[in-house]
């Protein structure tokens, strides 16, 4: 198949301007925090849709874009999701997770109660698609976990860019989401992301990110 090419253009930054832009973006992203207490203030569906479309610009294996983003704003459905998620989380905190895991989580103050699933104005449930169904036949996608992970990263960046907050939630197992949302067989839940404004006077754990010496290696 012949590859169709189109021109690419972008404003190029160099020298001091490039350095300043890179530093500014790092400092901005370093201010991003996971939030577990949300305001119930609404966020327009148009904003949520734009965030998702920004996420969908992420690179993917063979450009298959093996993801679907389901947006839940209906209070009744959010309540159902919370009930099912808390069932799984209760089991996790009371037997599924080994003690080392519980110890690693202890300083965050989390438990099986997940009120943010109802408080946040929107829940974005990300599904990965291991294969497509084309005329009733399976057609494989490629590098699916990597591709969907990249899209979720783009989504979190877009949420932060717009002044909203989010939480990456993974009640495990998450198969209840397929049933509640009536998703097809080729979609598997990957991540549940509540999105909205932070609750008033919200507090977050005093944690530190690893410094450059721990995450950056030069080969010059």
The CATH number that applies at residue 167 is 3.40.109.10
d(CA 140, CA 130): 6
Classify residue 109: in a domain, yes or no. Answer: yes
d(CA 150, CA 128): 12
Counted domains in the chain? 1
Classify residue 209: in a domain, yes or no. Answer: no
Q: What is the pLDDT of residue 13?
A: 96
Can you list the residues of the chain whose pLDDT is less than 50? none
Classify residue 185: in a domain, yes or no. Answer: yes
Q: What is the pLDDT of residue 189?
A: 98
Range(s) of the domain holding residue 69 = 35-200
Which stretches of 84-187 are assigned E, i.e. beta strand? Answer: 122-128, 131-134, 137-140, 165-166
Classify residue 44: in a domain, yes or no. Answer: yes
Q: What is the pLDDT of residue 136?
A: 84
Q: What is the pLDDT of residue 3?
A: 85
Dihedral angle sign, alpha carbons of residues 47, 51, 52, 53: positive
Q: Does residue 115 contact residue 140 with C-beta atoms inside 8 Å?
A: no
Classify residue 20: in a domain, yes or no. Answer: no
pLDDT digits (tens, 9 = 90+) for 173-189: 999 999 999 999 999 99
Closest to 92 measured CA to CA, from 102, 79, 82: 102
Q: What is the pLDDT of residue 69?
A: 98
Q: Over the chain, what is the mean pLDDT? A: 96
């Amino acid at each position: 198949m012949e590859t169709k090419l189109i021109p690419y253009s972008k404003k190029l930054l160099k020298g001091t301007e490039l350095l300043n832009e890179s530093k500014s973006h790092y400092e901005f992203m370093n201010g991003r925090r996971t939030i577990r207490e949300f305001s119930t203030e609404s966020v327009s569906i148009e904003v949520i849709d734009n965030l998702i479309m920004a996420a969908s610009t992420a690179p993917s294996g063979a450009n298959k874009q093996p993801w679907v983003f389901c947006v839940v704003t209906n209070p009744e459905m959010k309540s159902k999701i919370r009930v099912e998620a808390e069932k799984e989380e209760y089991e996790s905190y009371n037997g599924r997770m080994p003690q080392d895991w519980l110890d690693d989580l202890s300083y965050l103050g989390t438990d099986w109660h997940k009120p943010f699933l109802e408080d946040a104005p929107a829940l974005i449930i990300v599904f990965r698609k291991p294969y497509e169904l084309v005329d009733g036949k399976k057609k494989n996608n490629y590098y699916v976990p990597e591709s969907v992970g990249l899209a979720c990263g783009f989504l979190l960046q877009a949420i932060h860019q717009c002044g909203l907050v989010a939480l990456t939630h993974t009640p495990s197992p998450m198969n209840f989401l397929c049933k509640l949302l009536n998703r097809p067989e080729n979609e598997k839940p990957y991540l549940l992301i509540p999105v909205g404004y932070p609750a008033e006077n919200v507090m977050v754990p005093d944690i530190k990110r690893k410094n450059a010496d721990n995450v950056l290696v030069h080969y010059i």
